[in-house]
């Protein structure tokens, strides 16, 4: 018996996409990689859940904190230890467990959404996710309100980050790091360099190009390249024009991979020679694997974003998480992290602390960008729920078929 398709048009489209997929071994592996993302998109169509009750805080009796984050996003030494985190443990007596669990906002959400919906512990006490995903978590009631009394260094937050549209006054979230999405290339293989996103579509790079599975960064860079200001007024026509470009490059075999944080492996092993990337990763890749790559903000503009600490509704160590966040809002600690990750710190006084730590890095535009640098970067505008579903579906359809 053939089951009828769901009535919800968004979920119906996902089912139809799945039915169209060829279930070869390669197709199944690729489908598994984006399946969580597709389910995450479906979840956001169901509306906010009932009001959840925050978990009981055991911080005073249980001195641990569990932190989920992206790869290459905290200072690490040659032995694989995290110096600032070890210093935090010695200073506070709180044992920290740090996990590079986030490869992509949607796939992470896909793994934890069922527990979040029930108000359960997702296995971490704080996690760093991007603005738009944090917006979703807050709207759905999946985060706990921060107690600023446990975070005296909250005063060091860069003022421009205080009243964001998804969290006025930063009651539920606080920035971890910010950065750019732009283009990178292997300068040994491409000594002439690249200037624009359009350069990625040169026939000489066929099958050696990567783009990010983060929709707002890949689509944002393509839309900017087509002349659309992503932080301005635009709609279906502008987005569809960019989707058509992405689809063509996938269909023609120009794009080899669409990935989250793991895109770095493709650059390192030579599978890709050029890609849409995140700024700080390239500096770290050069430090770890030899100075082989260059990064640039595309001539028509790149994207600007922030990742933010949130405390999930089921976290049982809220006060310990706030103590951790407070520690990383010390400018000297923030400078140590920035010297390694090469992203934009949200902490007032970090540049001055960096002057003492590494004066050369204090002039690095990827860490402390000038107004001129920022003028060519843009924040992908906020999407309505219907836009998020519609545009996300179009993007995920390409990932499913890639």
Closest C-alpha among 194, 185, 201, 246 to residue 391: 246
Query: Model confidence over 209-226: pLDDT tens digits?
Result: 999 999 999 999 999 999
Closest C-alpha among 103, 165, 163 to residue 139: 165
Mind listing the pLDDT tens digit of every residue in the chain (402 residues)?
A: 334 444 444 444 444 443 433 332 223 233 334 454 554 555 554 454 568 999 999 999 999 999 999 988 999 999 999 999 999 999 999 999 999 999 889 999 999 999 999 999 999 999 999 999 999 999 999 999 999 999 999 999 999 999 898 999 999 999 999 999 999 999 999 999 999 999 999 999 999 999 999 999 999 999 999 999 999 999 999 999 999 999 999 999 999 999 988 899 999 999 999 999 999 889 889 988 999 999 999 999 999 999 999 999 999 999 999 999 999 999 999 999 999 999 999 999 999 999 999 999 999 999 999 999 999 999 999 898 899 999 999 999 999 876
Domains of the chain: 9-43 (no CATH), 64-178+306-365 (3.40.190.10), 179-304+378-401 (3.40.190.10)
Query: Model confidence over 182-204: pLDDT tens digits?
Result: 999 999 999 999 999 999 999 99
- The two structure tokens encoding residue 141: 């009631």
C-alpha to C-alpha distance for 141 and 203, rounded to whole angstroms = 47
Closest C-alpha among 66, 98, 64, 95 to residue 81: 98
Query: Model confidence over 339-358: pLDDT tens digits?
Result: 999 999 999 999 999 999 99
C-alpha to C-alpha distance for 173 and 165, rounded to whole angstroms = 12
- Is residue 181 within 8 A of residue 277, CB to CB? The reply is yes
C-alpha to C-alpha distance for 270 and 189, rounded to whole angstroms = 10
Closest C-alpha among 97, 45, 90 to residue 66: 97
C-alpha to C-alpha distance for 367 and 334, rounded to whole angstroms = 11
Q: Which residues are registered as beta bridge partners of 347?
A: 157
């Amino acid at each position: 018996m053939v089951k009828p398709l769901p009535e919800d048009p968004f979920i119906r489209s996902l089912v139809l996409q799945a039915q169209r997929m060829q279930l070869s071994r390669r197709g199944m592996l690729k489908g598994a990689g984006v399946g969580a993302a597709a389910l995450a998109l479906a979840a956001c169509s169901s509306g906010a859940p009932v009001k959840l009750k925050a978990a009981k805080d055991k911080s005073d009796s249980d001195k641990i904190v569990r932190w989920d984050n992206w790869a290459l996003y905290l200072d690490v030494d040659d032995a694989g230890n995290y110096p600032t985190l070890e210093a935090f443990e010695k200073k506070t007596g709180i044992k920290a467990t740090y996990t590079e669990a986030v490869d992509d906002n949607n796939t992470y959400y896909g793994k934890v959404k069922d527990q979040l919906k029930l108000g359960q512990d997702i296995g971490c006490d704080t996690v760093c996710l991007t603005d738009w995903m944090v917006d979703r978590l807050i709207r759905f009631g999946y985060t706990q309100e921060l107690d600023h009394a446990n975070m005296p260094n909250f005063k060091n937050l860069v003022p421009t980050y205080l009243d964001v549209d998804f969290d006025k006054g930063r009651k539920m979230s606080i920035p971890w790091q910010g950065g750019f999405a732009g283009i990178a290339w292997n300068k040994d293989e491409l000594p002439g360099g690249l200037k624009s996103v359009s350069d990625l579509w040169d026939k000489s790079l066929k099958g050696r190009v990567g783009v990010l599975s983060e929709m707002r960064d890949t689509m944002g860079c393509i839309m900017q390249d087509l002349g659309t200001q992503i932080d301005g007024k635009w709609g279906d026509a502008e987005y569809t024009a960019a989707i058509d470009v992405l689809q063509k490059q996938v269909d023609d075999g120009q794009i080899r991979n669409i990935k989250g944080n793991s895109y770095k492996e493709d650059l390192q092993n030579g599978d890709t020679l050029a890609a849409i990337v995140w700024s700080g990763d390239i500096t770290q890749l050069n430090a770890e694997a030899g100075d082989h790559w260059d990064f640039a903000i595309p001539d028509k503009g790149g994207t600007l974003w922030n990742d933010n600490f949130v405390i999930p509704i089921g976290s049982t160590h809220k006060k310990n998480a706030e103590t951790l966040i407070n520690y990383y809002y010390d400018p000297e600690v923030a400078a140590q992290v920035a010297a390694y990750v090469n992203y934009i710190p949200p902490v007032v006084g970090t540049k001055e602390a960096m002057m003492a730590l590494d004066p050369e890095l204090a002039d690095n535009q990827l860490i402390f960008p000038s107004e001129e640098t920022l003028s060519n970067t843009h924040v992908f505008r906020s999407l309505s729920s219907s836009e998020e579903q519609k545009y996300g579906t179009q993007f995920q359809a390409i990932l499913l078929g890639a």
